[in-house]
């Protein structure tokens, strides 16, 4: 059974502030390393701020509308990615590009993330 862990967005993540190697990034990569060692890690990545994304809203009759980011409420955003399984086309999907691993710099935590094979493509 597959599960997804969602990381909530913050004011910093929405402002494009990258986590530093001496703090949050080290903790995140350490957690991924534990899961990799346990053989349960599939993938892990961050998302660009909602200002780089858009939402597609489906309504009855197959009508679609698109809304460009940024999106107002940080508490409603995630800094990771999600998969959904819906029963009808009446759903709202948020689309944002991934942050390439290279943009986090080249510190020890980033090197460890590379060794773990995160962001293979």
Confidence of residue 31 (pLDDT cuts 50, 70, 90): confident
Q: What is the pLDDT of residues 35-79, one digit of tens each?
A: 788 777 778 888 899 999 999 998 888 899 999 999 877 677 877
Contact by Cβ (8 Å): 29, 112: yes
Segments making up each domain of the chain, as ranges: 1-12+45-121
Q: Determine the 3-state secondary structure of 82 from DSSP.
A: coil
Stated length of the chain: 121
Contact by Cβ (8 Å): 5, 80: yes
Q: What is the pLDDT of residues 106-121, one digit of tens each?
A: 889 888 888 888 876 5
What whole-number distance in Å separates Cα of residue 69 and Cα of residue 86? 23
Residues 6+ apart with CB under 8 A from 65: 56, 57, 59
């Amino acid at each position: 059974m597959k599960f997804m862990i969602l990381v909530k967005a913050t004011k910093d993540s929405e402002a494009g502030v990258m986590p530093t190697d001496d703090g949050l990034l080290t903790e995140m990569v350490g957690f991924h390393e534990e899961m990799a060692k346990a053989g349960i890690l599939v993938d892990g990545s961050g998302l660009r701020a909602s200002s780089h994304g858009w939402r597609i809203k489906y309504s009855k009759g197959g009508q679609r509308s698109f809304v460009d980011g940024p999106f107002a409420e940080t508490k409603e955003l995630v800094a990771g990615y999600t998969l959904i399984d819906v029963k009808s086309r009446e759903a709202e999907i948020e689309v944002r590009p991934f942050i390439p691993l290279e943009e986090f710099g080249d510190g020890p935590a980033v090197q460890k993330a590379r060794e773990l094979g995160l962001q293979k493509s």
